[in-house]
Amino acid sequence: MRPRPMGGMLAAAGECPVRVPNPLRSLSKPRVPQYPWWIDLRSIMSTFDFTTLPIWGNALVLTVGGIGVWLCGTRLARLADGISARTGLSRVLAGALLLGVATSLPEIATTVTASLLGNAPLAINNLFGGVAMQLAVLAVIDLWFVRKGPLTFFSPDPVLLLGGVLLILQVAVSIAAIAAGDITIVGHIGAWPILLAIVYVASLYFMHGFSDRDTWTPANAPEQSGPEEREATESQGDEETRSALVLYGLFAANCVGVLIGGWAVSSSADALSEQTGIGSGFIGATLVAVTTSLPEISTTAGAVRLGAYTMAISNIFGTNCLEVALLLPSDLAFSEGPVINAVDNSAVLMASVGIVMTTLYLWGLLERRDKSVLRMGVDSWSVVLTYLAGVGLLYFIS
């Protein structure tokens, strides 16, 4: 009886070769992290199978979730302004940090949920579609809530220019990341989302430091004491008389409501994408982006009613900077490898549209026209037309 050939030796002619497992092959495969049952989000989410609902049922869940997001989001601007008054936090930082984080909770919920479901196009297109959609929100605010001139005319704060430039920087880096591809650093986490999160934190630092510097003062500054602003300031008294602890508690409670509503929106949108056959990338960039932008509409409108025009724009710029940084939690939740490697050209399209729209508003902030065209500034009209053209192009390539 001849002995079997050993692991690294070839079998003799006519014999069946022995397959020896290659240890390097098992190391080359990404390991899917195993979570304990009490934090296994996949098993928790599997108990809520939205695909078992009919199409009208998922549409109803999406609508109810959107209403919940709107109702909770309407209080966030007033609470953030009250916290700013009680703690001495500048309105620019309050808009970029407090409102930016709070109104991004639906995007956090929808993006993480979609990534856990393995739907990377829905997750990433929700983020970049949200960047474009929230810039379009400023045009809606300019149309319905701003009087006596365009919105950018009433925001002569140079820190907004820095915020817009930093937003373009983050979106441009994300486009480079999609074009170059990603590599894993730890487990299945890529390098680009970590870099974008670092850039976001640095952006907050530079914006806060820049707001304390008197670099230049704009000429022809508008008056900020109209009757609407005085009425809004008087109605704000209830928030300013409450203690900071109560304000933070109410702020956190409304954030939880926004988070739950965002989870319902994302889960029902994922089911609708499967049931209707419409691409998840298109649904993420349009339907989900519109629904998760409800807090931005309500909080930005609330800030404008308070006369805090700078906070309104910094809210949108700060939220969009955070949108790009949310690639990191999306990558953490996406267990099939770097999430950037799983997106398609539709994400690049919506990111490019976001850069163009941000540039148009920076142009408006620099030029500061004091005349409106059909109750909107020229910059807002340009932003609306750019957004509609981008969504139309996205539909055809999807």
Task: Tell me if residue 32 falls in helix, strand or coil.
Answer: coil
Does 23 fall in a domain?
A: no
**Phi-psi group of 88: left, alpha or beta (phi > 0 → left; psi -120 to 50 → alpha; rest → beta):** left
* 334, part of any domain: yes
User: Is the residue at 30 inside a domain?
Assistant: no
Residue 257 lies in a domain: yes
Q: Tell whether 72 is covered by a domain.
A: yes
Nearest C-alpha neighbor of 18 from the set 30, 28, 10: 10
What's the confidence (pLDDT) of residue 228?
Answer: 41
Using DSSP's 3-state secondary structure scheme, residue 135 falls into helix
* Predicted structure pTM score: 0.72
d(CA 299, CA 101) in angstroms, rounded, equals 12
The reply to whether 103 falls in a domain is yes
Residue 344, C-beta contacts closer than 8 angstroms, at least 6 positions apart? 121, 281
The domain total for the chain is 1
Within-domain flag for 366: yes
For residue 195, being part of any structural domain is answered with: yes
CATH of the domain at 362: 1.20.1420.30
Q: From the DSSP assignment, how many helices (H) and strands (E) are in the chain?
A: 19, 2
DSSP 294-307: HHHHHHHHHHHHTT
pLDDT per residue, tens digit, the chain (398 aa), is 445 444 444 444 444 444 444 443 334 344 444 444 334 555 555 556 777 788 888 888 888 887 887 777 667 766 776 776 676 665 556 555 666 676 677 777 778 878 887 888 878 888 898 889 889 888 888 887 776 777 877 777 778 888 899 999 999 999 999 999 888 888 888 999 999 999 999 988 887 777 666 666 666 655 554 434 444 444 444 555 667 788 888 888 888 887 787 778 767 877 777 777 676 667 766 777 777 777 777 777 777 777 777 777 887 888 888 889 999 989 998 888 899 998 888 889 999 999 999 999 999 888 877 677 887 888 889 999 999 999 889 888 86
Instruction: Provide the residue range defining the domain that includes 182.
Output: 53-212+239-397
